Amino acid sequence: MIDVKIENGIAVVTLQHGKANAIDIELCEALAQGFGELRASAARAVVVTGQGRMFSAGLDLLRLSAGGADYVRKLLPALHRSFEAVFFHPKPVVAAINGHAIAGGCVLACCADRRIMARGGGRIGVTELLVGVPFPALAFEAVRFAVPARYLAEFMFGGTTDEVDAALQRGWVDEVVDPDALMARAMAAAQKLAQLSPAAFSQTKMQLRQEISERLKRSGAATDKIATEIWAAPQTLRYIGDYVARTLKKA
């Protein structure tokens, strides 16, 4: 599911889950466990990337459509735990976006402290509303935290994806580099952040995220309950199935 290597004190977490690095329960569990273990490791920072030419195309909609409501009710808590493990990780996290980062894949990138994207054919954006589902609480908060406020509603309602130059201009990513320079640049960014006092960095990171943490405590469970009911509703599952069929037909 994921490969974790320590290079010069930096943990490199590579998604290795099929061509699209599609997100399912097992990948969520692997990410949550992997980032949990990295908390106590000697690694001073983390770079997360994808295998091949894809960062992550988001949730495995084929499996979700086939699994129905029972699968949804297991998937969403696992998805929350994976995003939580990355977003609230106390050490610096850099996303090396090597290709498409769509929907849940985009949210995962937004959980990082810094996003660096490779030039080429990759696009980034959140397409949840096109699929027919609302954002779980933490997924919404991660995107809201990462992008400029002036674009948030457009990104959320529009469901569009941006190519690399537009992604940089509109704030999805912090930096764009040539593909062959991506990992070196991400490692350098991680090393720079890792040079800061670990205790001071962790405290500052938690302060930056404090409002989100408080919102989640106040209303996260209620939001996720509503989101789960919508995701698991028969009409939503039919909508997802139709979306998958249309997408596969276009492909």
DSSP result, 154-177: HHHHH---EEHHHHHHHTS-SEEE
Kindly state whether residue 191 falls inside one of the protein's structural domains.
Answer: no
What distance in Å separates the CA atoms of residue 232 and residue 246, rounded to the nearest whole number?
20
Dihedral sign of CA atoms 37, 40, 190, 114 in order: positive
What distance in Å separates the CA atoms of residue 53 and residue 155, rounded to the nearest whole number?
24
Kindly state whether residue 188 falls inside one of the protein's structural domains.
Answer: no
Q: State the pairing for strand pair 123-125/162-163.
A: antiparallel
Question: What's the Cα-to-Cα distance from 17 to each of 25, 66, 90, 128, rounded to whole Å?
Answer: 12, 19, 25, 21
Contact 1, 17 (CB under 8 A): yes
- H or E stretch covering 38: helix 25-39
Residue-level pLDDT at 131: 95
Give the CATH number, domain containing residue 63: 3.90.226.10
Kindly state whether residue 139 falls inside one of the protein's structural domains.
Answer: yes
Residue-level pLDDT at 248: 67
pLDDT per residue of the chain (251 residues) written in tens, 0 to 9: 999 999 999 999 999 999 999 999 999 999 999 999 999 999 999 999 999 999 999 999 999 999 999 999 999 999 999 999 999 999 999 999 999 999 999 999 999 999 999 998 799 999 999 999 999 999 999 999 999 999 999 999 999 999 999 999 999 999 999 999 999 999 999 999 999 999 999 999 999 999 999 999 999 999 999 999 999 999 999 999 999 988 766 65
Tell me which residue range forms the domain holding 129.
Answer: 2-179
CA dihedral 51, 53, 54, 55 (to 10 degrees): 60
The identity of residue 153, as a single letter, is: A
Kindly state whether residue 220 falls inside one of the protein's structural domains.
Answer: no
Residue-level pLDDT at 247: 79
CA 164 to chain CA centroid, nearest Å? 17
The pTM of this model reads: 0.97
Could you give phi then psi for residue 120, rounded to 5 degrees?
140, -145
Residue-level pLDDT at 121: 73
Which residues are registered as beta bridge partners of 11?
Answer: 6, 46
Kindly state whether residue 210 falls inside one of the protein's structural domains.
Answer: no
Return the structure tokens found at 51.
Answer: 């295998």
Kindly state whether residue 209 falls inside one of the protein's structural domains.
Answer: no
Kindly state whether residue 49 falls inside one of the protein's structural domains.
Answer: yes
Residue-level pLDDT at 20: 96
Q: Which residues contact 194 (CB under 8 A, 6 or more apart)?
A: 9, 10, 44, 45, 91, 92
Q: How many domains does the chain have?
A: 1
Kindly state whether residue 40 falls inside one of the protein's structural domains.
Answer: yes
